[in-house]
């Protein structure tokens, strides 16, 4: 992408989404762009989610030297990804083909598939492992 400015990477803290996040970190570093990390969750408290992210960041992000920010979305995952994509002014979404709800996604269609088919934002879909 010629004018890539920011990458949005939605995560669900599953092992697969952490692998996708590492892919997004490498891409952001190589392209010298900002990385926006989003977790959408209505069930956990913001402090619980922030604590999980801080652990993840200290383990995987802080020594990588990538410019990143983290946000927590509440509501429908698809809507929140599109909303935060605009907020962060990201022009690429990097996400896994499957998340922690892979059994449900196989039956109803995944968020990734919906975003790709919607054509509302460029999506790089990273396969599992």
Contact 105, 99 (CB under 8 A): yes
CATH, residue 55: 3.40.50.620
Query: Domain for residue 107, yes or no?
Result: no
Q: What is the DSSP letter of 48?
A: H
Domain boundaries, position 27:
6-101+112-126
Query: Domain for residue 93, yes or no?
Result: yes
User: At residue 123, does pLDDT exceed 50?
Assistant: yes
Query: Domain for residue 55, yes or no?
Result: yes
Q: Is 10 exposed, middle or buried, given 0-12, 13-18 or 19+ CB atoms closer than 10 A?
A: buried
pLDDT on residue 108: 35
Q: How many domains does the chain have?
A: 1
Query: Domain for residue 1, yes or no?
Result: no
In the chain, the percentage of residues whose pLDDT exceeds 70 is 88
**In the predicted model, what is the mean pLDDT of residues 12-23?**
93
Query: Domain for residue 94, yes or no?
Result: yes
Residues 6+ apart with CB under 8 A from 123: 92, 93, 94, 95, 112, 115, 116
Contact 92, 7 (CB under 8 A): yes
**In the predicted model, what is the mean pLDDT of residues 6-20?**
93
66-117, pLDDT tens digit by residue?
Answer: 899 999 999 999 999 999 999 999 999 999 886 555 443 443 348 888 888 8
50-60, pLDDT tens digit by residue?
Answer: 999 999 999 88
């Amino acid at each position: 992408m010629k004018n890539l400015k920011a990458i949005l990477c939605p995560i669900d803290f599953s092992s697969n989404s952490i692998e996708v996040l590492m892919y997004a970190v490498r891409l952001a570093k190589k392209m010298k762009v900002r990385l926006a990390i989003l977790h959408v969750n209505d069930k956990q408290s913001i402090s619980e989610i922030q604590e999980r992210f801080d652990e993840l960041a200290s383990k995987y992000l802080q020594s990588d030297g990538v410019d990143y920010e983290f946000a927590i979305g509440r509501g429908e995952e698809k809507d929140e990804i599109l909303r935060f994509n605009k907020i962060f002014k990201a022009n690429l979404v990097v996400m896994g083909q499957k998340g922690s709800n892979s059994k449900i996604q196989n039956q109803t269609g995944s968020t990734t598939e919906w975003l790709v088919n919607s054509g509302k934002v460029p999506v790089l879909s990273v396969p599992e492992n």
